[in-house]
């Protein structure tokens, strides 16, 4: 006779399976919210703070959300406010958020049953944007192997550098591991009060972090595709080509613009040498992809640089990556469509492939929903804080795109403003279209189509 507990457990599993099949997005959001609640509870314990007192609920919630959503915005300094236990909790939250809750669930399922069940496949496919369920198993393996290998490689590169900077072996190892995980997962958390600012000209320290952020922002489907076709670029998927090319263009353009606008700024890179200025420009161009680290005081940057950063943050990184934003492929598809329209082409084409019209429609929807979220949140914060638009817009886009860069005003937010950013980070990490799909009551399928008529555009 089965026990009452096992009966209830089986019934609960059937409910979860049914929800996963009907709407994986809803279950993904629910699990993601539950994970945030778990880490909020852990950070609310007295052992999590350096002072031994309980952190205010809003700060624990904000930090947990920022860590799980791999954002990096903080209301309290990570290196001094949280204890060693609290920092470990934050690091675990970053790792869980970077891998993805559903991917982690699939890994646990593989460890227990040596296979991935249909439910786990549906959930992971929903989160990682994998179109074929048969690829989920391969993608999961690539996720864990690639992320761990790159994090270990980054940590090994950083460890001797921290030793040279007169840190003890234990402290150097901790900082190396923390920065490696935070960099690859595009989290932007730093375990020290001063962060990376004292090392603005250190190529050996900063370049591993830059590479980790860039690769982490490409997305696991791209990494999987490139790994399978390492020596044959022509066989890369259209998604991989668009992601790599667009990402490279954004880094180059962003670096040049940052160098132009900040070259003579005495409060940022003005006093640096040529080598340090070039490194800082590259660093500032890559970090808005969702990295969130900074080697200069962002609050002292020129407003033109803020505007460039806003644009780069809003675009973000690759789909199904540790980065946020509307994603680079969304930008690429819309730009290609604009060029095709200007040339009078009937089809939208790139790299010898035709892009379906529903993909363009989805790109427009993602951009519009993202812009609406930023606009609504900016209006709320403007009313709550009374700050200027440039400051508010920077913080809002940084939260939505899960970047973590800040002009320094996030800790000064009232509680209501902190809750606004918490909601925005959650929406930005789970994805605007995932949220829309989760809230949709039903999938409309129409048998009868209305007559076509073109309105005047422009």
Instruction: Tell me the domain boundaries of the chain.
Output: 20-438
Q: What is the pLDDT of residue 108?
A: 45
Adjacent-strand bridge partners of 353: 350
pLDDT band for 407, please (50, 70, 90 cuts): very high
**Model pLDDT, residue 22:** 55
List Cβ<8 Å contacts ≥24 apart for 393-399: 393/310, 394/306, 394/309, 394/310, 395/73, 395/421, 396/421, 396/424, 397/310, 397/313, 397/314, 398/71, 398/73, 398/292, 398/313, 399/71, 399/73, 399/424, 399/425, 399/428
Q: Report whether 58 contacts 418 (CB < 8 A).
A: yes
Per the model's pLDDT, the better-predicted residue between 346 and 156 turns out to be 156
Let me know: does 247 contact 186? Beta carbons within 8 Å.
Answer: no
245-272 pLDDT tens trace: 999 999 999 999 999 999 999 999 999 9
pTM recorded for the entire structure: 0.88
- B/e letters for 188-222, b = 16+ CB within 10 Å, e = fewer, are bbbbbeebbeebbbbeebbebbbbbbbbbbbbbbb
How confident is residue 24, by pLDDT bands cut at 50, 70 and 90? low
Q: Is the pLDDT of residue 106 over 80?
A: no
Helix (H, G, I), strand (E, B) or coil at 49: strand
pLDDT surpassing 50 at residue 112: no
The reported pLDDT for the residue numbered 133 is 46
Q: For the ranges 78-87, 152-161, 164-173, 445-454, which has the lowest average pLDDT?
A: 445-454
Extract the tokens encoding 267.
């409060």
- Residue 53, SS3 per DSSP: coil
Say yes or no to pLDDT of 107 above 50.
no
Average pLDDT for residues 141-156, to the nearest whole number?
Answer: 86
């Amino acid at each position: 006779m089965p026990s009452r507990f096992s009966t209830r457990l089986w019934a609960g599993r059937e409910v979860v399976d049914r929800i996963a099949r009907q709407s994986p997005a809803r279950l993904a959001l629910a699990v993601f919210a539950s994970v945030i609640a778990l880490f909020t509870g852990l950070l609310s314990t007295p052992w999590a703070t350096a002072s031994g007192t309980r952190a205010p609920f809003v700060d624990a919630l904000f930090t947990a959300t920022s860590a799980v959503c791999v954002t990096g915005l903080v209301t309290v300094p990570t290196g001094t406010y949280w204890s060693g236990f609290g920092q470990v909790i934050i690091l675990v939250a970053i790792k869980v958020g970077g891998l993805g809750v559903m991917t982690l669930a699939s890994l646990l399922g593989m460890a227990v049953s040596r296979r991935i069940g249909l439910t786990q496949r549906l959930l992971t496919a929903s989160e990682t944007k994998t179109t074929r369920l048969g690829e989920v198993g391969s993608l999961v393996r690539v996720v864990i192997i690639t992320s761990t290998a790159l994090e270990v490689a980054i940590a090994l590169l950083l460890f001797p550098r921290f030793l040279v900077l007169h840190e003890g072996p234990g402290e150097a190892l901790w900082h190396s591991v923390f920065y490696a995980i935070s960099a690859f997962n595009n989290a932007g958390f730093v375990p020290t009060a001063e962060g990376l600012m004292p090392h603005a000209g250190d190529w050996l320290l900063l370049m591993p972090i830059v590479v980790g952020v860039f690769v982490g922002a490409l997305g696991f489907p791209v990494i999987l595709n490139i790994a399978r076709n390492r020596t044959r670029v022509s066989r890369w998927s259209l998604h991989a080509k668009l992601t790599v090319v667009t990402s490279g263009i954004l880094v180059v353009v962003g670096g040049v613009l940052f160098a132009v606008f900040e070259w003579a700024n005495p409060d940022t890179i003005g006093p640096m040498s040529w080598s340090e200025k070039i490194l800082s420009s590259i660093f500032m161009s890559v970090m808005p992809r969702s990295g969130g680290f900074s080697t200069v005081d962002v609050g002292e940057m020129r407003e033109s640089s803020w505007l460039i950063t806003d644009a780069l943050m809003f675009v973000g990184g690759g789909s199904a990556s540790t980065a946020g934003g509307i994603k680079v492929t969304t930008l690429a598809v819309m730009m290609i469509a604009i060029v095709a329209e200007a040339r009078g082409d009937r089809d939208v084409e790139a790299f010898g492939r035709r892009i379906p019209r529903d993909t363009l429609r989805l790109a427009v929807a993602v951009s519009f929903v993202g812009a609406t979220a930023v606009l609504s949140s900016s209006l709320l914060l403007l009313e709550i804080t009374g700050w200027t638009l440039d400051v508010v817009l920077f913080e809002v886009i940084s939260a939505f795109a899960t970047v973590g860069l800040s002009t320094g005003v996030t800790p000064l937010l009232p509680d209501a403003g902190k809750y606004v950013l918490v909601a925005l980070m959650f929406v930005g990490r789970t994805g605007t279209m995932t949220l829309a799909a989760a809230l949709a009551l039903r999938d409309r399928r129409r048998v009868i189509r209305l007559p076509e008529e073109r309105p005047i555009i422009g």
